[in-house]
Structure 1
Amino acid sequence: MISMNFPAVHAFCVEHNVQMVQAGPNQICPECAKNNVNQNNLEHQKHVDQMVRELHFGGAMIPVRHKDSGFRNYNVTHAGQSNALNTCVAFARTMIAGQKRNLIMSGKTGTGKTHLSCATAKTLLGKGISVRYITSEDMANEIANAWTKHDDSERSAVYRFTEYDLLILDEYGLHDRHENRLQLVHKVLYSRYDIGKATMIVSNMTLTDLQKDLGDRLWSRFQHDGLSVIECNWADQRVGGGL
């Protein structure tokens, strides 16, 4: 295409063995010029991809304490922890493969639930999958306070939490006990079910209590696309300086 727009000269490109063309004061090889354009496009795309990746990581709102939490540095000392790790890894692989399912991690505090949820988030973010981490209390507060902003509404706030490929809802059942706030949390869960989005619930409640709290209708929907369950019933690792 370049050789058609510029007059050919007698010189040939040593590298490509094609006739060079005159472009202003310079003699250039059409193939070299095309490769330079392709390289510039490639560098630009890498820059754009990096910007998108940084935006995704920033938008995920992973807690600073867990910015370095990954699958590889999750402390495994017994079968329960090994099962928890393997289940989260399998869940991440399922999502990377384009399949949607839900995951619940329930059990005692200090058992590494947030570590694993953030490790899952970082793994998926690295593959270009959008993730948002938030506590149940903070999400309910943001939705409830949306009406105080002139450019926001409850409906828009619910939608914001619905559109992520994965929503990680931590501390469910801890500070969201007010009935109206809990209804807002459930609105998001119903909305995500309606459009087939994956959700991870992390809670200190027992699995039985969590099921009762969600209610039969929401619990049924949560299982519809497949549900992985991790019960963390081992001792608090923070006491000994662990997770």
Structure 2
Amino acid sequence: MLQVPSVLARDMLNTHWRFSIEDILADVTGQPVTVSIVNGLDDPFGASSDAGSAGSAPPQKSDYSYYDYDIPAKQQPTQRHARYGEPGATSDPLAEEWDNEQRANILLHNRLNPRYTFDAFIVGNSNRLAHAASLAVAEAPGESYNPLFLYGGVGLGKTHLLHAIGHQGVQTGLAVLYVSSEQFTNEIVNAIRYRTTEEFRAKYRSVDILLVDDIQFIAGKESTEEEFFHTFNSLYEMSKQIVICSDRPPKAIVSLEERLRSRFEWGLIADIQPPDLETRMAILRVKADLLHYRIPDDIISYIASRVQTNIRELEGCLNRLMAYQQLHRTDLTMDVARAAMSSLGNDNRESRLGTRQIAQAVAEYYHISLEAMCGKQRDKHIVMPRQIAMYLMRQETQASLLEIGQIFGGRDHSTVLHACEKIDRALNLNPTLRREIVAIREQLLRG
């Protein structure tokens, strides 16, 4: 018996691949095999389908995982599904051409992390609005907040909420597509290159829920912005749900087209702040319980008080503590916790690195004076190191954009943001620049 996550997937496999699967299994086992394909969400214990029966004993219920497969935009399909299972048509001719096979393909190959669910998300004052909005969107896609725009720093739970919305949509039989802005860009580039733009558009404009991560990286990419603009309009007009994540609000994405910025602001914008002490402690407790790791409350409190930046770093500290204790084969005490945090280099980045250290390291690496780099000079050999220093300060310290700007001759926050975005984009294209920044980081860590 083969369980699949939707009726669409069941029908697709029954129609196209069941006999091939049976032939392959027969070759492997040396005897005739009959495969039964069932919708595991509605009938997880194996009610019989049209494909026949694979045996009398009921199979055990299984969990579904979603892996990182590329979803091909295949030949132009012929029929568009009705919205949320209701009768009706759409005015988008590309969407009209989408068939159940492609929708089932999306359901089978979605890139959703099985660990990122609403049940696994720890709610606190720092993320309460974002969580409530995400839950509302998941329960009524296209009706509550559209688009939903989530923003916040690295490792605070934006992607977790994005995937949680996706899981709930998949469980109700909707076509959910999760994509990073980088993947969207790569796909439109390939579509232009191989002249498959119609298939690309049909794929993206025929989902029920579109989840886009790190949208800030499409800024300044004209073809990507143009295509996303039309994709957004098409889905919005059909009341399909759009959820977008970014590390900053729409108005702070400096080089983003104004027409996209205004559309991102149509719905609800919800930010996620670094978790407070109580939330950090709750996250550590849940993580420890999942790992079956017994840890006293005072050590939980100690770790939570040491790490105030993001959840990934918080969980990393717990993993380091476990590794340290297992390596030394000792009881877990406060002294052991302190030693683990110290020996494994767990001090906050802001306590290890300061803005002046970074500025000095960059100036030394490029053999320019600190005064010239921090001043008003606009020579090319000065401007690039200055932008790299701004980028590293934003990455490695807790200094605000305004504070960084003050270091460099009183420049405003938008100038700093533009510099950081420019370096971000250049890192994807320039291996020499990547090596230089790695070398500067290593120099900083060596002290």
**Bin for the TM-score computed over the shorter chain:** 0.5 to 0.7
Question: What is the deviation of 1:93?
Answer: 1.2
Identity %: 22
Matches within 5 A, 1:61-210: 61-62=111-112, 66-76=113-123, 78-95=124-141, 99=143, 101-149=146-194, 153-174=196-217, 177-210=220-253
Shift of 1:55: 4.7
CA positional deviation for 1:213: 2.4
Cα distance in 2 between the residues matched to 1:181 and 1:55: 24
One of 301, 310, 314 as aligned partner of 1:240: 314
Query: Could you tell me how far 1:153 is from its partner in structure 2?
Result: 2.0
Shift of 1:210: 4.2
Residue identity opposite 1:213 in structure 2: L
Rounded to whole Å, the distance in 1 between the matches of 2:150 and 2:109 is 23
- Equivalent residues of 1:137, 1:176 under 8 A apart: no
SS in 2 for 1:193: helix
Instruction: Label 1:112 to 1:158 Cα distance change in 2 as closer, same or farther (>3 A).
Output: same
Contact 2:219 2:255 (8 Å CA) reproduced? no
- Superposed displacement of residue 81, structure 1: 2.0
- Which structure has more strand as a fraction of its residues? 1
Counterpart Cα distance in 1 of 2:167 and 2:134: 12
TM-score by length of 2: 0.37
Deviations 1:152-189 (A, max 9, x none): 52232122111100110111113654333333332322
Q: Could you list the runs of 5+ residues in structure 2 that have no partner in the other structure?
A: 1-46, 53-63, 65-100, 275-308, 317-447
- Cα deviation, 1:73-94, whole Å, max 9, x if unaligned, reads 1123x31223322221111112
Shift in Å, 1:59: 3.3
Answer whether contact 1:146 1:154 (CA < 8 A) is retained: yes
3-state SS of 1:240 partner = helix
CA pair 211-187 structure 1, distance change in 2 beyond 3 A: farther
Q: Does 1:44 align with 2:49?
A: yes
Alignment gaps of 5+ in structure 1: 1-41
Measured in 2, the distance between the counterparts of 1:117 and 1:187 equals 22
Aligned residues: 187
Q: Structure 2 vs 1, CA of residues 178 and 207 (structure 1 numbering), >3 Å: closer, same or farther?
A: closer
Identify if the C-alpha distance between structure 1 residues 92 and 45 changes in structure 2 by more than 3 Å, giving closer, same or farther: farther
